[in-house]
Amino acid sequence: MRILIIGATGFIGSRLVEISTQRNFDIVALSRNNVSLPSRVSWFKWALGEPIPEAALKDVEVAIYLAHDFDGLTGAETTRAATVAAFTNAAKAGIKRQLFFSSYSAGQHANSVYGLTKYQIETEIRKVPGTTIVRPGLVIGAGGLYGRIQKFAKRLPILVLPEGGKGLIPVIHLDVLCQTTLNLVDAKKSMAEVNLFYKEPVTLRQLVFKACGQPNKTPWILPVPTRLLLRLITFCELIHLPLPVSADNLRGFIANQHAKHEPTQFMEWDEDTLTMANRDHEY
């Protein structure tokens, strides 16, 4: 099967390409560069806001959308407009199935720029036939938001957490996410919505201890009221002080405590995938 991966060199995209080639999919990749892509992948240089080259759409059966511009409100609007336009054009080109990677943060509960943007895109692409909305939880792996948290957790002796880290976070391991995505691609029927995260969420405190990854090191947790922490992070952003999370991340985390998403169960998860999920979900 020939699949198009849009945003193929990002945290999720690069691993999805790797696993896709292992499973013998024919991959067409769109990204700014092709540094990390296998030689057998057909690559086209592309960035959000640019039209997808017609040659990249040729003979594609499934398109997967991972690209997102994190440059504030400007980047959010670029992402929304470009994604919606790409969905429409891909459908006109004959691509019958398209998977959009949304987020657990997307929904009526959303109040972060990221969550609201994903929700707006969801709303606009639902009318395109063959659309599947994929909502992963926080992706556990060496990159993305978890990777930034891990970097600071390993380095700092004291970590500041909202309310001491009591809030809950839905999570999924990167490899489980990629394997399940390809199971969706392989499935005979498409699903309108899929929520991908483990049944039991973890607390932010548990997540930080997991990210630390050193059995002899337990960071001290400094509890801070959430509203105060939001102000502190906003100030740090104004003076360009690097932090593992942004104010928008924290707004999303706060809003997610009221999310109503439930994990989707998959009978087609094979034994290796389930074992991987259990092994990496030891908090």
Task: Identify whether 211 is part of a domain.
Answer: no
CB 131 within 8 A of CB 62: no
Gap between the Cα atoms of 282 and 77, Å rounded: 38
Task: Identify whether 245 is part of a domain.
Answer: no
Q: What is the domain count for the chain?
A: 1
Could you tell me the pLDDT band of residue 5, with boundaries at 50, 70 and 90?
very high
Average the pLDDT over 226-246 and give the result.
96
Exposed/middle/buried for residue 31 (C-beta within 10 Å: 0-12, 13-18, 19+): buried
Could you tell me the pLDDT band of residue 39, with boundaries at 50, 70 and 90?
confident
Residue 269 has pLDDT above 50, yes or no: no
Task: Identify whether 111 is part of a domain.
Answer: yes
Average the pLDDT over 259-275 and give the result.
64
Task: Identify whether 155 is part of a domain.
Answer: no
Q: Where are the alpha helices (DSSP H) in the chain?
A: 11-22, 54-57, 72-92, 113-125, 144-155, 174-186, 204-212, 226-238, 247-256, 271-279
Task: Identify whether 116 is part of a domain.
Answer: yes
- CB under 8 Å to 215, separation ≥6 — which residues? none
Query: Which residue, 172, 191, 192, 200, is CA-closest to 268?
Result: 191
Average the pLDDT over 38-66 and give the result.
95
Task: Identify whether 228 is part of a domain.
Answer: no
Least confident of 22-31, 183-192, 249-258: 183-192
Could you tell me the pLDDT band of residue 11, with boundaries at 50, 70 and 90?
very high
Range of the domain at 89: 2-142+170-200+261-279
Exposed/middle/buried for residue 17 (C-beta within 10 Å: 0-12, 13-18, 19+): buried
What's the pLDDT at 219?
83
Q: Compare 272 and 153 and report the one with higher pLDDT.
A: 153
pLDDT digits (tens, 9 = 90+) for 104-125: 999 999 999 999 999 999 999 9
Q: Residue 110's domain is classified under what CATH number? A: 3.40.50.720
Task: Identify whether 130 is part of a domain.
Answer: yes
Three state DSSP letters for 56-115: HHCCCCEEEECCCCCCHHHHHHHHHHHHHHHHHHHHHCCCCEEEEECCCCCCCCCCCHHH
pTM of the model: 0.91
Task: Identify whether 230 is part of a domain.
Answer: no
Say what percent of the chain tops pLDDT 90.
84
pLDDT digits (tens, 9 = 90+) for 128-151: 999 999 999 999 999 999 999 999
